[in-house]
A and B are shown apart, each in its own frame.
Chain A
């Protein structure tokens, strides 16, 4: 069965710092990869997704993620965070032989200090 790991549970950064959140998955086949964000009191929103092609994908709000197949990783990055990026970030994977279900990581709670 596929699984997703997010190693950082809590991250605290100051504004303008660079961000990298790790995501690793365990599945040997073809996968679709997603990062979702949940701002306080709001629903899960899609930040970006990777299905195929260029392994460096750009999403909304200046976020990007790089798919490294050999490392089974899909890390999320942002060069300069803002206070408004304070949220919980979830990595999710859909394995192409697992129908449409998403398998989520445990989430990373990011706090950006002004």
Chain B
């Protein structure tokens, strides 16, 4: 069964550094998402992406964040200058159609630790 994959599984970085989290969505999927889960808190929506542009974003997704689909398979989340409060588990997800009735399939997550 096809799966969403994410790399790295764990990233440790210093405050102020840039990080890029990578995701490979399921190959025929068209909608892509990033969510995050700070330890002990709820999974929170960050951004959705379709047709090479952001379709929705939450208040969390400020100018420090950006997303990109640099090629036909990868979907990346960049945090330009990391803060301590960016430490969280970051999940990528994808769906197969543009409609909002389809299921989001999640990757295993990247645990980001900002020191």
Chain B residue at minimum C-beta to C-beta distance from A94: B100
Do B95 and A100 have beta carbons less than 8 Å apart? yes
- Tell me how far the C-beta of B77 lies from the nearest C-beta in chain A, rounded to whole angstroms: 15
Against B, the Cβ 8 Å flags (1 = close, 0 = not) of A79-114 are: 000000000001010101011111111110000000
In the bound complex, residues from chain A placing their C-beta under 8 Å from that of B109 are: 43
In the bound complex, residues from chain A placing their C-beta under 8 Å from that of B41 are: 106
- B106's contact among A43, A103, A106, by CB below 8 Å, is which? A43
Do B33 and A43 have beta carbons less than 8 Å apart? no
Do A102 and B42 have beta carbons less than 8 Å apart? no
Q: Would you list 27 pairs from A and B whose C-beta atoms are within 8 A, ordered by A residue? A: A34-B103, A36-B106, A42-B108, A43-B4, A43-B91, A43-B108, A44-B43, A44-B91, A45-B106, A46-B103, A49-B103, A51-B101, A90-B43, A98-B100, A99-B100, A100-B31, A100-B33, A100-B55, A100-B95, A101-B33, A101-B45, A101-B56, A102-B43, A102-B45, A104-B42, A106-B42, A107-B42
Q: Which residues of B contact A (CB under 8 A)?
A: 3-4, 31, 33, 35, 41-45, 48, 55-56, 58, 91, 95, 100-101, 103-109
Closest 8 CB pairs of A and B: A44-B106, A43-B108, A104-B43, A101-B45, A99-B56, A100-B100, A106-B42, A43-B106
